[in-house]
Amino acid sequence: EDKVVQSPLSLVVHEGDTVTLNCSYEVTNFRSLLWYKQEKKAPTFLFMLTSSGIEKKSGRLSSILDKKELFSILNITATQTGDSAVYLCAVPHGSSNTGKLIFGQGTTLQVKP
């Protein structure tokens, strides 16, 4: 059964800190791994990763995938209070080429001033 596990489940840091969020997965026929940020309502798309070792960056956020060890990390440098959110990791269901995403439990990040 396809599975996504995120750690830690929650994290409290202070502004300026760097954080690393983890996502491990087990899925048949891996295609991609996605990261989303959810503040109040809609999850907002951050990154889609398909290849090992290639870092994707957007401002202070970056992410990398390790297909051999079956995990991904999301790094946030110089955190700001606006980074406070739930960060979700997801993989497409492996056995069918359809829009079924399997989500992890999420990591709740709180950035204190």
Partner 1 sequence: KAGVTQTPRYLIKTRGQQVTLSCSPISGHRSVSWYQQTPGQGLQFLFEYFSETQRNKGNFPGRFSGRQFSNSRSEMNVSTLELGDSALYLCASSLAYPDTQYFGPGTRLTVL
Q: Interface with partner 1 includes 44 (CB under 8 A)?
A: yes
Q: What is the dihedral of CA 42, 43, 45, 51, to 10 degrees?
A: -160
Tokens of 66: 């390790």
Binding mask 4-43 for partner 1 (x = CB under 8 A): ---------------------------xx-x-x----xxx
Instruction: Give whichever of 20 and 44 is closer to partner 1, judged by the CB atom.
Output: 44
Tokens of 16: 């300026």
Residue 18 Cβ vs partner 1, minimum distance, rounded to whole Å = 26
| Interaction residues for partner 1, span 73-112 (CB under 8 A) | 88, 90, 92-93, 96-106
Q: Please choose, from the candidates 60, 67, 55, 76, the residue with its C-alpha nearest in 3D space to the C-alpha of residue 25.
A: 67
Residue 74, burial from CB neighbour count under 10 angstroms (0-12, 13-18, 19+): buried
Residue 24 Cβ vs partner 1, minimum distance, rounded to whole Å = 16
Integer distance in angstroms from the first to the last C-alpha of the chain?
Answer: 41
# of chain residues touching partner 1 (CB under 8 A): 25
Q: Which residues bind partner 1 (CB under 8 A)?
A: 31-32, 34, 36, 41-45, 48, 88, 90, 92-93, 96-106
